[in-house]
Structure formats: structure tokens, C-alpha cells
Chain A
Amino acid sequence: MEIEPWEAFIRSTALHTLVRHYEPWLWPLCETLHYLGLSLLLGTVGLFDLRVLGVARGIPFQAIHRLIPWGIGGYVLNIITGIVFFFGHPDQYFYNNAFRFKALFMAIAGLNVVAFYGTSAFRELATLKGGMEAPMRAKIIAGTSLAMWVSVLICGRLLTFFRPPFFH
């Protein structure tokens, strides 16, 4: 397959050269950070979602929401390491169906975040005390969040099984 302009551009960047030069240790390091980041995301956002869905109902929403910044930290770590992977081997990701599904689920998760904080769903939840049940709208958003992040993880894990049949 011909190298398209977008891929030629990525291969011309300093980041691409750097990733390929230090690949033997940089790749395992970034993979490890990527796994730590996903654990932080699932362990904080995941527990928040479960509370909204009705697990550990005594916990006030505002209190468990304080864990979310740590989940965002994990997300940022994974975006940075993800960029390292993509710039290192753009063809191995772009022409990979698992990666395309992963990007789709990430986009849905992103829209879901907008639906939560951009509407009154979050404010509505913040006024509720511990022991109270979340409104249906918040439950749908939390369920979507949980399903999307697990799907993103599954697609990420399956990347190696859907490698394109060529290397540029």
C-alpha cells in the first residue's frame, strides 16, 4: 500500500524519529505507563459510575467525585503515551480495525462526558445526598461510561491481533 500524505507527515516529525531511535526501552516504558493510566481511570471513574448505578449507595456523589481528577490524570497519561505509539508506527494503528473501533468508543466516551457536565445531569447529582438514588439520566450516562471505557480497553488489548498485513 502507498504511503499517504498524512503518514508521510507523521514519519517526517522529530517525535517519530525519537520514538524509533529509543524504541527498545521507550516502548515498554510507555506501555507500562499506559497500563498504569488505564488502571487509574477504571479505578476512579469506574467506581464513580458504579456508585451512580447503585453500588455502595450510602456514598454521597460529591464525595466520590473527588476521585475523578485522578482518573483524568490517568486519561492524560494514556493520551500522551498513545501519541508516542501512534507516531512511532502510524500504519500499524491507522490500518488496524481494533484501533478504529477504539477511536470510535473513545469518541462516544468523550460525548458522554459532555452530556454529563454540559447539561444539568451533573448539578442534579451534586445536590443529592448519600443514600439517595441517582436519576435515570445520570444512570444511563454512568452505564455508557463504564461500557465505553471497558470497550476501549478491549480494543486496545486486541490491537496486536488485528495488525495490518504490511509494514511501511
Chain B
Amino acid sequence: MDSFLAFFENSTFAGWIRGELDGSTLVFPVVVTLHTIGMGFVAGGSAAIDLRLLGVARKLPLELMGRFLPLLWLAFVVNAVSGILLLIAYPTKALTNPVFYFKVCMIALAAWLLHRTGDAAMRAPEGEQEAEVANTKMLAIASLGCWIALITAGRLLAYTRRWEMLGIPSVG
């Protein structure tokens, strides 16, 4: 194991997250559960805005859809924090897996797309029933695709060892 990764992996804090310390059994289940609830709200809520931008529920006022953005960003922050905790708990497992780096790229892209689609929704003139700009629809499609890729990558992280068993080499 890389000594840099070992420093984190062998720390008391990492052991606490993994539930190895007395009284810390609940930490790991709570962290992964928060990560899943956050995912549901940020990915699902973002997808709802994307669908609206693509023409679903046209009577839904776009600028009012923007009122949900603080909740979605809160869910994003919950997932960033819980994700960092999971990374500290198992750094070697994540950082030696190419799927993890793909997931990180998708997180950055999804955040940027949520910022752009949220901005497009907020700036829609009052009473406008449709996102006329083709560019906005492209952003919405990209956002939907990004969430699908991100969730797929996240789920596949649990199968790291099987990827290696399939002969796909890991980095590092």
C-alpha cells in the first residue's frame, strides 16, 4: 500500500468511520444512507428540472422550479461530505480504481450542469411556458446523461474487486 494512502487508511478517524472503534458501529451505515438520500434528491431533483427544460410539464413555471435549487445544493453538500468520509475510510479501494476517477469527473460535470440549468430556469422570464433556446435543451440532455453515468459509476465502485477479477487493470 502506498504510504500516503496508508496514513489515511490506518488513522483512528478512518477506523471510526469503518465502525472498528467501540461505539462507532452505526457510523458507516449512517454515512452510506445519507449518501443515498442526498443522491435521490440532488440527482432526482436536477432530473426534474431537466425534464421541465425539455418540455415535460410545460405549465410548470420555470422560475419557480428554481425555488428548489437551495434544497438540491444542500443535498449536493451532504453527498460531498459523506463522500469524503467514505474516501477517508477506504482510500486505497477508491484511489486505485479507474471507475472512481471517472465518477469524480462526472461529479464536477454534473455540478456545473446543475449550475447552468438552474441558472437557465431562474432567468426564464415570468410566464414563459417553454425553454426556447436549443442550447438550454442540450444542457438538460447532458445533465440527465451525466447523472446516469455518475450513479452507474458509483454503484460499480462496490464491485471493484470483481472488475479486477475480470482482468481490468487498476491504476497505481
Contact = CB atoms under 8 A, between A and B. Distances in A.
Asked whether A and B interact, the reply is yes
Contact of B151 (A39, A55, A66, A157): A39
B44 A42 contact: yes
What is the predominant secondary structure among interface residues of chain B facing chain A?
helix
B65 interface: yes
Interface stretch (A4-12, A27-35, A87-95): A27-35
What is the predominant secondary structure among interface residues of chain A facing chain B?
helix
A41 interface: yes
A46 B39 contact: no
Given A32-B151, A35-B151, A56-B65, A43 B46 contact: yes
B88 interface: no
B55 to A, nearest CB: 11
Interface in A24-69: 24, 28, 31-32, 35-36, 38-44, 46-47, 50, 55-56, 58-60, 62-64, 66-67
Contact of A35 (B29, B59, B65, B155): B155
A63 to B, nearest CB: 4
Contacts of B48: 43-44, 47, 67, 70
A46 B45 contact: yes
B102 to A, nearest CB: 14
Interface residues of A, number: 35
Contacts of A28: 155-156, 158-159
B61 A63 contact: yes
A130 interface: yes
A35 to B, nearest CB: 5
B47 A157 contact: no
B66 to A, nearest CB: 8
A47 B45 contact: yes
B64 A42 contact: no
The listed residue with most A CB atoms (<10 A of its CB), out of B36, B40, B151, is B40
Interface string A110-126: 00000000000000000
The listed residue with most B CB atoms (<10 A of its CB), out of A39, A50, A62, A150, is A39
B40 A38 contact: yes
B123 interface: no
Give the bracket for the number of chain B residues in contact with chain A: 35 or more
A154 interface: yes
A165 B56 CA distance: 47
Contact of A42 (B41, B68, B155): B41
Interface in B16-50: 29, 32-33, 36-37, 39-41, 43-48
A155 B76 CA distance: 21
A108 interface: no
5 contacts: A35-B36, A41-B40, A42-B41, A43-B47, A62-B59
Q: Which 9 A-B pairs have the closest CB atoms?
A: A43-B44, A66-B57, A56-B67, A42-B40, A39-B44, A63-B59, A63-B60, A39-B43, A42-B44
